[in-house]
Amino acid sequence: MSRYLDVIMAGFGGQGVLLIGNLLAYAGMREKLHVTYIPVYGVEMRGGTANCTVVLSDEEIGSPIIVRPKSLIVMNRPSLDKFQPRLVDGGIQIVNSSLVDEGLVESGGRIKSVLVPANELADKVGNPRAVNTIMLGAFVAATGMVRLSTVEECLAEVMAAKIVAINVTALRTGAEYAMKQLEKAKKTASAPKAPAKPAAEKKAPAKKAPAKAPAKPAAEKKAPAKAPAKAPAKAPAKAPAKAPAKAPAKAPAKAPAKAPAKAPAKAPAKAPAKAPAKAPAKAPAKAPAKAPAKAPAKAPAKAPAKAPAKPAAKKPAAKKPAAKKPAAPKKK
């Protein structure tokens, strides 16, 4: 059976993407495989995009250019957005979950995904720049295209000797973490989840028992029992106690005491004394002013006294012109 695998490694400048691509190519050559390695990068020293394509095969390679890869190493979010849709069905990708949201990664369906928190693991190893070798170790363990020991032997060919030891530790750390994730995925996939779901669905109608429905009308019966007990006790007790005590006590005491005392005292004393002495012009002016203000008893006392006195004086004066009768003898 032929051995073949192509991979696109992608990230941004400074993550060491091209270094691990070169390292994988050296490991393939050491295992007597045909290898192609094509780096693609921008002019930026750091921060720009960078990716490389590596093809490993025990047969001659027809083309080093891969449009739809069988595997991916994704170091950041832009690389995921660009290359994840290109991954062939049944392919595998190693994703740096430290920089990529897990909700954006496809898994359990068309492709297989292994999430590796490479930045956190690099900190535990003791070298934050070992993120790339941790991702390569996870890739080698997940694919099995080359042996991990072969990759460790080739470290001295691509990097300085003083950092080889810590990168060996980083490779093994990434490989161990990837193997644990793959074992968990196998256990969850082989677990019988289908019979567990209908059992949970049968319990749902059992909880909604009709025992709660008759319990509510029992609470409604208590409400009318409390309402009539409080309403008649408070309302009739306060209303009749205050109303008859205040109203009849004050009203009859003040009204008869002031009205009859002032009205008869002033009306007979002033009216007969001023009316015959002074002119009739002053009497009618004072009478209507006092009558409506103080009491209604003054108006009937003055009206009958003055009305019959004036017409008796005018009638005999109008009837005296009978002296004109002796003018009749002029006709003779």
Instruction: Go through the domains of the chain in sequence order and give each one's CATH number.
Output: 4-189 (3.40.920.10)
What is the tens place of the pLDDT at every residue in 172-190? Answer: 999 999 999 999 888 887 7
Q: 298-315 burial string, b = 16+ CB within 10 Å, else e?
A: beeebeeeeeeeeeeeee
Q: Output phi, psi for 184, to 5 deg.
A: -65, -40
Average pLDDT score, the chain: 72
DSSP H or E run through 236: helix 212-277
In this structure, what is the dihedral angle of CA atoms 24, 30, 34, 35, given to the nearest 10 degrees?
30
Question: pTM for the full model?
Answer: 0.58
Longest dimension (CA), the chain: 188
Residues 6+ positions from 36 with CB-CB distance below 8 Å: 25, 53, 54, 55, 61, 64
Smallest CA-to-CA distance from 97 within 135, 56, 63, 146 is with 135
**CA geometry: angle at 56 spanning 54 and 57, to 5°?**
150
Q: What gap in Å lies between CA 179 and CA 159, rounded to an integer?
A: 26
pLDDT for 313 equals: 41
pLDDT for 8 equals: 97
* First and final C-alpha spacing in the chain: 184
pLDDT for 45 equals: 64
What is the tens place of the pLDDT at every residue in 105-135? Answer: 997 788 999 999 999 999 999 999 999 999 9
pLDDT for 193 equals: 60
Q: What gap in Å lies between CA 260 and CA 296, rounded to an integer?
A: 11
What's the average model confidence in pLDDT over 158-169? 94
SS (H, E, C) 291-319: HHHHCCCHHHHHHHHHCCHHHHHHHHHHH
Q: What gap in Å lies between CA 2 and CA 282, rounded to an integer?
A: 145
**CA geometry: angle at 69 spanning 75 and 174, to 5°?**
40
pLDDT for 318 equals: 46
What is the tens place of the pLDDT at every residue in 220-275? Answer: 444 444 444 444 344 333 433 343 334 333 433 343 334 333 433 343 334 333 43
User: Tokens representing 39?
Assistant: 């780096």
Better-predicted residue by pLDDT, 217 or 248: 217
- DSSP 8-class letter at 234: H
